[in-house]
Amino acid sequence: MKRPLRRELVFQLVETSRLLRTYVEQRARQHGTTRAQWGVMSRLRRQEGLNQASLAEQMDLQPISLARLLDRLQSQNLIERREDPADRRAYRLFLTPEGRALVDGLDAVRTEIADEILGEAEEAAIQSALGTLSTIREQIRTRSEDKAPASAGNAA
């Protein structure tokens, strides 16, 4: 079963995504932050009080990768690590007012980017692409769990 288009899509996805990530990175920088930190703040805005491990799992990040992001965010006074009263190992994460203001302001940028990048795409194509991405994501998550039996039961 030869399906060269599938191979091509993997390749294109990896390459296009690097371009897109870099582009978003530049746009974020114009507003004094970075794509990764933006992502953390967005997630925190939706759900505060998480500990680092939970947030890392939600974001498909390694805890250590998140920890260093949080270091930078904290040093800019954009997030807060509060000690968990019930677990002395853990912190609970909160946005500061500054952090909240920043991420709120960035919503417009997100819309801008989407319009720039996808302004000409048709609604149906976007729907379809979302579905395909979702499939891919699911497959990768499955494969990764196979190899890294982190926690038997996963919060799917």
Partner DNA sequence: GACATATGATAAGCAGGCTTACGATTGGGA
Partner DNA sequence: TCCCAATCGTAAGCCTGCTTATCATATGTC
Residues in touch with a second copy (CB under 8 A): 3, 5-21, 23-24, 26, 35, 39, 60, 110-111, 113-121, 123-137, 139-141, 143-144, 147
The answer to whether 2 and 12 have CB atoms below 8 angstroms apart is no
Q: Is residue 26 within the footprint of DNA (CB under 7 A)?
A: yes
35-46 vs 4-30: helix axis angle to the nearest 10?
Answer: 90
Q: Applying CB under 7 A, which part among 1-9, 60-68, 120-128, 129-137 lies near DNA? A: 60-68
Alpha-carbon distance of 95 to 115, in angstroms, equals 28
Nearer to a second copy, 101 or 129 (CB): 129
Stretch that binds DNA, among 46-54, 96-104, 106-114, 118-126 (CB under 7 A): 46-54
Element (H or E) spanning 122, and its range?
A: none
| Ramachandran region, residue 77 (left: φ > 0; alpha: ψ -120 to 50; beta: rest) | left
When binding is defined by CB under 7 A, the residue of 90, 94, 100, 113 that contacts DNA is 90
Q: Is 109 in the site for DNA (CB under 7 A)?
A: no
Cβ atoms of 93 and 50 closer than 8 Å: yes
The binder of 105, among a second copy, DNA, none, by C-beta within 5 to 8 A per type, is none
Instruction: Give the interface segment with DNA, choosing from 31-39, 41-49, 100-108, 133-141 (CB under 7 A).
Output: 31-39
Minimal distance, residue 92 CB to DNA, in Å: 7
Residue among 70, 79, 71 at smallest CA distance from 48: 79
Q: Is 79 helix (H, G, I), strand (E, B) or coil?
A: strand
DSSP category for residue 121: S
Question: Amino acid letter at 65?
Answer: S
Q: Which residues bind DNA (CB under 7 A)?
A: 18, 22, 25-26, 34-37, 39, 51-54, 60-65, 67-72, 81, 84, 87-91, 148, 151
